[in-house]
Structure 1
Amino acid sequence: MKAAVVHGINDIRIQEVARPDPGPGEVVVRVRASGICATDVKMLLGQGLPKNLPTILGHEVAGEIFAVGTGVDGLFPGQRVAVYPIAVCGECFFCRRGRHNLCEKEFGLAHGVDGGFAEFVRIPRQIVNIQGVCELSPAISFEQAALAEPLSCCLAAARTGGVKAGDTVAVIGAGPMGLFHLKVARWAGARVIMADVLDERLDTARRMGADHCVNTRREDFVEQVRRYTGGRGADLVIAALGIPAVMEQCLPAVRKGGIFNIFGGPPAGQLLTIDPRWLHYGEITVTGTFASTPADFRRALELITAGEIEVRDMISHRFNLDNMLDAVEQVRKQRMIKGVVLID
């Protein structure tokens, strides 16, 4: 089979590899669509390469079941599915509390095992066991289903932040994940302030329903959020980018009793400086959300299928495996909203 194989920093090659066979409890999925995440590109640029090289990246996967291992019930060849990418033990302290994304033994697609930038991908039994291989309705396309994973991460952040109708949510960063946050917050009935340094991204955010946009090259984010909220600040501020210095500057945009969510993954070793008196007297909550749970993933699929959250307008570029290198370059240069690799 053909796959995009990563060998090292800035070293990704399209090459033939052996098609995987399912072991006991596993399934093999013929990939039809695989979303391109900024995390994949970060890895290629040397910001956290996978432990095992060479490897195949890609964790936003939808396709058809090709083969089923022994002991698998309810799944069969030809079934259209989307795949929750995190393999968890189901038994540790966190799994028993429904927080599977914090599993003490977690690994997953492109993170311990080969991912979905390939014609076929083997799904570990740990994912199968938690009903992480989800059947698709005929009403949803493969490329829509591939976006359930990033959408589920933003649903998890909204759940953590308790977003409800009438709230004001401020999102720092109008890249693809920031736009997914916009869609989730609007679905929940909140007003949304979007911030970025690129006018074209803010124009996209306006088209997707942002109530107010701030170009932080020209305007002060905190001042604009306070002005929009009558001086109080936002109920929830989401840092959809992983730059600690920017997070620190934006902390005062949250209101008293509000929540500041660190969503974008920051580099190791960089710190935030926070005034403890501000936390104490303002009763501020500073938190983070990482990935999503299987329940969040299934909810994302339900919302896409029902048309409650539109994701098709997120897809600005479509690629195949042969021009995967161009896809990586487009992400690196911030020239697209969201790319999907489509495999016939």
Structure 2
Amino acid sequence: MKAAVVHGKNDIRIEEVPRPSAAQGEIVIKVRACGICATDVKTLLGQGLPKKLPAILGHEVAGEIAEIGQGVQGFTVGQRVALYPIAVCGECPYCRRNRHNLCLKEFGLGHGIDGGFAEYVRVPAQIINIGGVVPLPTGLSFEEAAMAEPLSCCLAAAHTGPVGPGYTVAIVGAGPMGLLHTKVARQAGARVIVADLLDERLHLARHMGANLCVNTSREDFVPAIHRLTDGQGADLVIASLGIPEVMQQCLPAVKNGGTFNIFGGPPAGQTMTFDPRWVHYSEIKITGTFASTPLDFHRALSLIARGNVIVKDLISHRFTFDNFLEAVEKVKNREMVRGVLII
């Protein structure tokens, strides 16, 4: 089978690799669509390469069941499904509290096992057993289903602060995840302010529901947020980009009693500073969001299937193995919104 195989920093090749087989308790999926996440590209740039190389990345997967291992019940060959990408132990304190994304032994597609940038992907029992293989409703396309994973991450972030009617959510960064945050907050009824350096990204944010936009190449973020909120600040600020320096500059945009969510994954070893008196006396919550839970994933897929959150307009480019390396360059250069590998 064909696969996009990572051999090291900036070294990815389309190769023929053996097709996986389903051992006991496992399923093999014929991949039909796999979203191309900026995290995958950051990995290629050396920000956390897999411990074991070569490796196959890709964790936003939808496809058809091709093979079912002994002991797996409730599925049929040919069934259309989407995959929650995190495999967990099911026994640690986090798993027992349904915080599966924080499992002490977690691994998953693209980190620990081969991911979805391939014609077939093997799904271990640790994903199947937590409901991570989710049947697709009739009429839902594979490429839309592949957007359930990133949407689920945005739903997880929305849980960290007040998102709903009467609240203001400020989103720093109008990349694909910032646009998904916009959709989530608007679907919940919140007022949404989106900030970015690029007018074309802000145009997309307006199209996708942002109430107000701020171009931070022309206006500083914090004064703009205070101007647009009668001097109070936002109830929830989501830093959708992983740049600690920018995050620190944006902290004062949070209102008293509000929440600052670090969503974008920052590079290792960098730090932020803040005044603990401000956090204490203003009752500021500073939190982070990593990935999502299976419950978030199921909810995301349902929102897409029901049309409550539209994701088709996020998919700006479609690729095959023949031009997949072009996709990597476009993500690096911010030349597309969201790309999907179609197989």
TM-fit CA distance, 1:97: 0.6
TM-fit CA distance, 1:176: 0.5
State how 1:319-330 maps to structure 2 within 5 Å.
319-330=319-330
Q: Distance in 1 between matches of 2:341 and 2:206?
A: 26
Q: Distance in 2 between matches of 1:237 and 1:280?
A: 18
**1:256 corresponds to which residue?**
256
**1:37 corresponds to which residue?**
37
Indicate the SS of the match to 1:236. strand
**1:266 corresponds to which residue?**
266
TM-fit CA distance, 1:162: 3.2
Q: Distance in 1 between matches of 2:321 and 2:249?
A: 40
**1:196 corresponds to which residue?**
196
Indicate the SS of the match to 2:159. helix
**1:122 corresponds to which residue?**
122
Letter in 2 for 1:95: C
Output the TM-score relative to the length of structure 1: 0.99
Letter in 1 for 2:207: R
> Is 2:104 the partner of 1:104?
yes
TM-fit CA distance, 1:222: 0.6
Letter in 2 for 1:243: I
Output the TM-score relative to the length of structure 2: 0.99
Q: Distance in 1 between matches of 2:310 and 2:191?
A: 17
Q: Distance in 2 between matches of 1:299 and 1:165?
A: 20
State how 1:7-86 maps to structure 2 within 5 Å.
7-86=7-86
> Is 2:89 the partner of 1:92?
no
**1:150 corresponds to which residue?**
150
State how 1:141-220 maps to structure 2 within 5 Å.
141-220=141-220
Q: Distance in 2 between matches of 1:162 and 1:95?
A: 25
Q: Distance in 2 between matches of 1:69 and 1:160?
A: 38
CA deviations on 1:265-299 (whole Å, 9 max, x unpaired) are: 11111111010110011000000010000000000
CA deviations on 1:189-236 (whole Å, 9 max, x unpaired) are: 001100111111111101111111111111011111111111100000
Indicate the SS of the match to 2:145. helix
Q: Distance in 1 between matches of 2:91 and 2:7?
A: 34
TM-fit CA distance, 1:75: 1.2
Please provide the CA RMSD for this pair: 0.6
Q: Distance in 1 between matches of 2:75 and 2:253?
A: 48
Indicate the SS of the match to 1:161. coil
Q: Distance in 2 between matches of 1:2 and 1:122?
A: 14
Q: Distance in 2 between matches of 1:126 and 1:162?
A: 32
Structure 1 runs of 4+ off > 6 angstroms? Answer: none
Contact 2:162 2:235 in 1 (8 A): no
Structure 2 unaligned blocks of 5 or more: none
Structure 1 unaligned blocks of 5 or more: none
Q: Distance in 1 between matches of 2:296 and 2:86?
A: 12
Indicate the SS of the match to 1:94. helix
Letter in 1 for 2:283: E
Q: Distance in 1 between matches of 2:162 and 2:32?
A: 35
Q: Distance in 2 between matches of 1:129 and 1:111?
A: 19
Q: Distance in 2 between matches of 1:96 and 1:164?
A: 29
Q: Distance in 2 between matches of 1:206 and 1:35?
A: 23
Q: Distance in 2 between matches of 1:321 and 1:69?
A: 28
Letter in 2 for 1:15: E
Indicate the SS of the match to 1:192. strand
Indicate the SS of the match to 2:40. helix
Count of aligned residue pairs for this structure pair: 343
**1:292 corresponds to which residue?**
292
TM-fit CA distance, 1:139: 2.2
Letter in 1 for 2:140: I
Q: Distance in 2 between matches of 1:211 and 1:77?
A: 45
Give the % identical residues: 70
Letter in 2 for 1:58: G
> Is 2:277 the partner of 1:277?
yes
Q: Distance in 2 between matches of 1:48 and 1:113?
A: 15
State how 1:211-230 maps to structure 2 within 5 Å.
211-230=211-230
Indicate the SS of the match to 2:92. coil
**2:316 corresponds to which residue?**
316
TM-fit CA distance, 1:163: 1.3
TM-fit CA distance, 1:322: 1.6
